[in-house]
Structure 1
Amino acid sequence: MPQVCIYPKQAAQLTGNQYTAGKRLLQRIRTKLGKPAGSYVSVGEFCQFTGLPEAEVSRALNGAPASTFART
């Protein structure tokens, strides 16, 4: 089953930041969306906020092989 929510460690890895920056990023997303602290942030919400392509983020989170990311 594909992963549908983002955790701070993953947010940090996806953006190339440290864990604390990942936590702050998710909190900013929750604040902007009017969600309570500690609620889940979906992959779609994360991608909409960061501007990252949802398909690539989903592949990275769900453990797709590196060859999947190669552009032709």
Structure 2
Amino acid sequence: MKPRPTRLCIYPKDIQRITGKSERYSRNLMQRIRTSLGKQPHHPVTWLELATYLNLPPDQIRELILD
């Protein structure tokens, strides 16, 4: 059986699933992560950056974004 590919980038829908918050909250959180990392608005946020920012175990984040 082939291993499922994982995405490196996350989207607001992924953050909604992880946090249980709204899409608007998720978009704002992504913007706060970008600002704290010094990224420009067009730069993507990775699942590892999200885990670090939220102080959550990266393995749990990775499991939740497998689609």
Aligned length: 63
The answer to whether the aligner puts 1:36 opposite 2:40 as a matched pair is yes
Matched, 1:57 2:61: yes
Relative contact order higher in (CA < 8 Å, ≥ 6 apart):
2
* Aligned-residue identity in percent: 32
Q: RMSD value over aligned CA atoms?
A: 1.0
TM-score, normalised to structure 2's length? 0.87
Q: Which moved more, 1:50-59 or 1:24-33?
A: 50-59
- Structure 1 gap ranges (5+): 64-72
Matched, 1:46 2:50: yes
Corresponding residue SS for 1:41: coil
Gaps of 5+ in 2: none
State how far apart, in whole Å, the 1-side matches of 2:17 and 2:6 are.
18
SS at match of 1:17: coil
TM-score in terms of structure 1 length: 0.81
- SS of the residue aligned with 1:32? helix
Shift >6 Å, 4+ stretches: none
